[in-house]
Chains A and B, each alone.
Chain A
Amino acid sequence: MSTLSVAPAKKLNNIILQDINKSYSKGDNNVVVHDKFNLAIKSGDFVAIMGPSGLGKSTLLHLMGGLDRPTSGHVEIGGQRIDELSESKLTRWRADNIGFIFQSHHLLPVLSAQGNVELPLSLTPLNKKQRQQHAANALALVGMADRAHHFPKELSGGQEQRVAIARAIVSDPQILLCDEPTGNLDRKTADEILALLKKLNNDFGKTIVMVTHDLKAAEYASRVINLEEYIALGVEAQGAQIPQEQQSILVGE
């Protein structure tokens, strides 16, 4: 475990969703969320996924983060089929590779900003002093060093989201999955948060996948996927992207 990597990520963490079917039962009905869905995201990319509610944007994030499993199909990240991992291995993998940023920050009210950011580090072999140092670094990176000992109720919405971002990056995961990260924020604060994400993408090589309804937010991304249009492309067009993407990923484009 290192402190937050300053150099762009060396390891490739390409995200590939292939032939994804995802459905769930609701009463007597079987609701199909995704049917033969294909998507590839290059390591180090900043992708915004947009579209109306109910298309399964968050479900895609959950599949990429290993919080959910596809009914069928492959979820491959960094060359590893995460849909085949056992629950305990998936949990461990998630702790090492994924940082989640939610619309509601989900900070623990009983812990200070520092405590919240330190929390994921309790999954690592770091000692107390090292954990404190890592958390302080992450807080400094998001501009919250002077609020380290404040509790969530003492922070504004934007500050809470910054702390949540610090928590997401403190273990130095390669991939950040953001579900409406600016949904609860005013424009100015939202822009600050988006700029921060952009910085994490540019300066630290983090792969960022962001679900958003906000067109302005999508402007920060290097690639925008309008899910409605993307799905309308059809199975073949989506699928056709995969080999090409995989090929370009493999040659490091």
Chain B
Amino acid sequence: MIKQAIALSWINFKSFPHRLVASAISILSIACVAAVMLGVLALSSGMVKTMERTGLDNTLLVMRAGAVSELQSVMFPMEVKLLSNNDQVLRDKNGQAIVSAEMFVNAEYKKSPVNAQSNTEHVTLDGESLSLRGISQNTYLFRPHFKLIAGEKFATGLRQLIIGQAIARRMPELVVGKTINLGGSQWFISGVFSDNNSVFESELWADIGTVQSDYRRGSSVQSVRLALKNNTDLTKLAQEWQADPRLNVRLILEKVFFAEQAQNLTRLIRWIGLPIAIIMALGAIVAALNTMYAAIASRSKEIATHKAIGFTPFAISMSIMSEALLLAIVGGLLGVIPLYLVFDGWTAATQNANSLSQMMFNFDISLTLIAQAMTLSIVIGLLGGILPAIKAMRMPVTVALRDS
């Protein structure tokens, strides 16, 4: 039986050029589905990885109660002090609490005329919103992977900033030594940093005091990061701070906070992307069905002859299925390979739903995702081939021969 199916499949493959156009349409539609599917999966996978690389296990992120993002939060120096005084917070050798109070704003580029009198070239970006984080020296303690890869750190008290390498990659015009127009003020790029491909690489970091003054925030901050002792009971800590009438805060482990953000983003991508992929898949199934129906219609006499010679209906249907499968595999590869070659590692930008600013991440095309896209292609091929295969199997020989 298998031998028969192989013999007939081989003949079908040989006659492929005779059905080139119909087959090409089918292949192309399957390729599109595979590419969209892989794109969606790679996008969410890239995002998850970026988010997962962000945050430390023992770092507690504290924001205003009810805030789902740093942007929505505001905290005051007294609160920071109260939090820092807790026994569960780690201290350095000088007895100072390891705490990082951070500012976080959306800095908007506005198109501004180039200052002709200045020797500095202005980079003007219209409508881009970037995350600007005001940090202190302590902040570096919470970013163990931080590495300055170009230039130097910003100087305290000046409008200087360092930019994450994800931004530097996506906006090659932002280089060390340039001054950019940020929120109406001129900021000097002093360096570029990396941070293990985390979300932070999509941010601009500057001196917290300068950011506070530039954005007229007084001494308020958005979030506080606290290094906790290993055995800290988070529930107990939360109860303790909830009971304190001077505090009205939300606390969450930094790792968990970013993992939740990743979940929200990937859910969004999948809600939008997967329905598109499914609709396209249905279209591809119809295209494959059409191609295979046309293939057996044009070969009805050939199929009848095979049956008359003694090939089993099952072997004939298997040969039809193998042709559909071939279309699917070629289509799948045609969708997956170019996407892999062009887009793997490619940096994309999206609006972070929580911070409303740009977030860069890499398309992450893994073998697992390729296998998933190829599986979808094969399923399309099988679904597109099964009905024509059944039709070929049931095709009455006498009718087909009489028609000739």
Q: Of B4, B15, B302, B304, which one neighbours A123 at CB under 8 angstroms?
A: B4
Q: Of A59, A106, A111, A120, which one neighbours B310 at CB under 8 angstroms?
A: A120
Chain A residues whose C-beta falls within 8 Å of the C-beta of B309 in the assembled complex: 94-95, 100, 119-120, 123, 167
Q: Is B14 an interface residue (CB 8 A)?
A: yes
Stretch at the interface among A60-68, A76-84, A141-149: A60-68
Query: Once the chains bind, are A62 and B15 in contact (CB under 8 Å)?
Result: no
Q: Of A96, A104, A167, which one neighbours B301 at CB under 8 angstroms?
A: A104
Query: Once the chains bind, are A95 and B310 in contact (CB under 8 Å)?
Result: yes
Bound complex: CA of A59 vs CA of B15, how far in Å? 31
Category for how many chain B residues contact A: 20 to 34
Q: Is A103 an interface residue (CB 8 A)?
A: yes
Q: Is B196 an interface residue (CB 8 A)?
A: no
Query: Once the chains bind, are B312 and A106 in contact (CB under 8 Å)?
Result: no
Contact with A along B20-62 (1 / 0, CB 8 A): 0000000000000000000000000000000000000000000
Q: Is A109 an interface residue (CB 8 A)?
A: yes
Q: Please list the 8 inter-chain residue pairs (A to B) with the smallest Cβ-Cβ separation, ordered nearest first.
A: A95-B310, A122-B7, A106-B305, A110-B14, A110-B15, A100-B308, A104-B404, A67-B397
Bound complex: CA of A67 vs CA of B305, how far in Å? 11
Q: A104-B301, A110-B11, A110-B15 are in contact. Are A92 and B310 (CB under 8 A)?
A: yes
Residues of A within 8 A of B (CB): 58-59, 62, 65, 67-68, 87-88, 91-92, 94-96, 100, 102-104, 106, 108-111, 119-120, 122-123, 167, 171, 179
With A100-B309, A108-B15, A119-B11 given, name 18 new contacts (CB 8 A): A62-B398, A65-B308, A67-B398, A67-B401, A68-B397, A87-B313, A88-B312, A91-B311, A94-B308, A94-B310, A95-B311, A102-B404, A106-B302, A110-B14, A110-B15, A110-B18, A119-B309, A122-B3
Q: Is B402 an interface residue (CB 8 A)?
A: yes
Q: Residue on A with the closest CB to B6?
A: A122
Q: Residue on B with the closest CB to A123?
A: B310
Q: Residue on B with the closest CB to A106?
A: B305
Q: Residue on A with the closest CB to B308?
A: A100
Give the distance to chain B from A61, nearest Cβ to Cβ, in Å.
9
Q: A91-B310, A92-B310, A123-B4 are in contact. Are A111 and B11 (CB under 8 A)?
A: yes
Query: Once the chains bind, are A103 and B404 in contact (CB under 8 Å)?
Result: yes
Chain A residues whose C-beta falls within 8 Å of the C-beta of B18 in the assembled complex: 109-110
Q: Is B307 an interface residue (CB 8 A)?
A: yes
Query: Once the chains bind, are B307 and A91 in contact (CB under 8 Å)?
Result: yes
Chain A residues whose C-beta falls within 8 Å of the C-beta of B310 in the assembled complex: 91-92, 94-96, 120, 123, 171
Contact with A along B92-136 (1 / 0, CB 8 A): 000000000000000000000000000000000000000000000
Chain B residues whose C-beta falls within 8 Å of the C-beta of A104 in the assembled complex: 301, 404
Chain A residues whose C-beta falls within 8 Å of the C-beta of B301 in the assembled complex: 104, 106
Within 8 A of A (CB), among B382-404: 397-398, 401-402, 404
Give the distance to chain B from A211, nearest Cβ to Cβ, in Å.
12
Query: Once the chains bind, are A68 and B398 in contact (CB under 8 Å)?
Result: yes
Bound complex: CA of A108 vs CA of B402, how far in Å? 18
Bound complex: CA of A62 vs CA of B311, how far in Å? 16
29 contacts between A and B (CB under 8 A): A58-B401, A58-B402, A59-B398, A62-B397, A68-B398, A88-B312, A91-B310, A92-B310, A94-B310, A95-B309, A100-B308, A100-B309, A102-B404, A104-B404, A106-B301, A106-B302, A106-B304, A106-B404, A108-B15, A109-B15, A109-B18, A110-B15, A110-B18, A122-B4, A122-B7, A123-B310, A167-B309, A171-B310, A179-B401
Give the distance to chain A from B320, nearest Cβ to Cβ, in Å.
15
Bound complex: CA of A167 vs CA of B308, how far in Å? 12
Bound complex: CA of A92 vs CA of B402, how far in Å? 23
Among A91, A100, A108, A109: residue with most chain B CB under 10 A = A91
Among A59, A103, A106, A171: residue with most chain B CB under 10 A = A106
